[in-house]
Amino acid sequence: MTLLLIGPSERGRVWRQIFDEAGEPMVFGEDAVDDPKAVSHLACWNPSDDLGRYPNLKTVISVGAGVDQMPPMPQGVALVRTLAPSVDEMVRDWVLMATLMLYRDMPRYLAQASEGEWRAHPPQRASAGRVGIMGLGRIGRAVAEVAGALGFDVAGWSRSGAPVAGVDVYGPDDLEPFLARTDLLICLLPLTDETRGLLSSRVFAMLPRGAALVHAGRGAQLDMEAMRAALDDGHLKSAMLDVTEPEPLPKDHWAWQDPRVIVTPHIGGQTDSEEGARHALAVIRASRTGDDLPGLVHGKKGY
């Protein structure tokens, strides 16, 4: 039984070395599969092939943090997402960069800079700002920790409503009070049936006037036209997006030109290949011993 890795050749090279050292069989690329029946684990971003081609498949491992790009799993196949500190750290840093950029008015200063305009607006201290994080998973908690250390007043909104140290946590039924106290809304939610389209005119209207949006969840959670309307009526001041629908965002999309919006091309985080390979080895071992698979996606929750 073997793991099949589909992905760029550089990732293949790193995984090959780590799997060889660990004495675990691995095949790189679908063309290299001699016997589909021998494939027990598949690691990829998005399988190009029909998963039914591998009748003995036990697990599919998403090489990223998200799994929304995956097709439905065949009966009996577990879906796992990679747990990699590299991604948690990188996305945390992107989110904090974006939060500080919006808080300190960078969209406005970038627009002024393009006109060579030297004009100051009153700056604010972090301790006067209220950050609200939607999604308190590994990344959300990492963001909360640093935002709190910077002095922001930090709240979170999560499905479980479970307590997180230093964070004022709101449960699913408390969206309105959560938004009402949030000047900087950060979305880090996974894409599920419940979160698709969540960032809507209804949500923007519940934020205080002049709030800002940092979006590093998934593009399909954001209604871009509702965001535009909220920017136009001044309800939202600015937004920074690392995810869009579709991706890539078309060249002629209004958001590229809008001085109130900064778009980056989904560069928040990328799994370090070595960490990804080591996580896959841990999944294979757990699957062999019957232990809990690290990063197992719970079908009903969708993450």
Binding site residues, ligand GLV, CB under 6 A: 64-66, 87
Residue 134 sits at φ, ψ, to 5 deg, of: -90, 115
Q: Which is nearer to ligand GLV, 46 or 124 (CB)?
A: 46
Residue in this structure with the two tokens 């989110």, named with its chain if needed: 95
Q: Which is nearer to ligand GLV, 84 or 231 (CB)?
A: 84
Both structure tokens of 92: 């945390």
214 beta partners: 186, 240
C-alpha 185/C-alpha 262 separation (Å) is 15
Measured from the CB of residue 107, what is the shortest distance to ligand GLV in angstroms? 23
C-alpha 8/C-alpha 112 separation (Å) is 41
* Three-class secondary structure of residue 236 per DSSP: strand
| Structural Rg of the chain based on CA atoms | 21
Q: Which is nearer to ligand GLV, 2 or 195 (CB)?
A: 195
Measured from the CB of residue 95, what is the shortest distance to ligand GLV in angstroms? 12
Measured from the CB of residue 91, what is the shortest distance to ligand GLV in angstroms? 8
Measured from the CB of residue 64, what is the shortest distance to ligand GLV in angstroms? 3
Q: Which is nearer to ligand GLV, 87 or 134 (CB)?
A: 87
Which residue's beta carbon is nearest to the bound ligand GLV? 64
Q: Which of 225, 163, 172, 236 lies closest to 197 in space, CA to CA?
A: 225
Q: Which is nearer to ligand GLV, 82 or 238 (CB)?
A: 82
Measured from the CB of residue 87, what is the shortest distance to ligand GLV in angstroms? 6
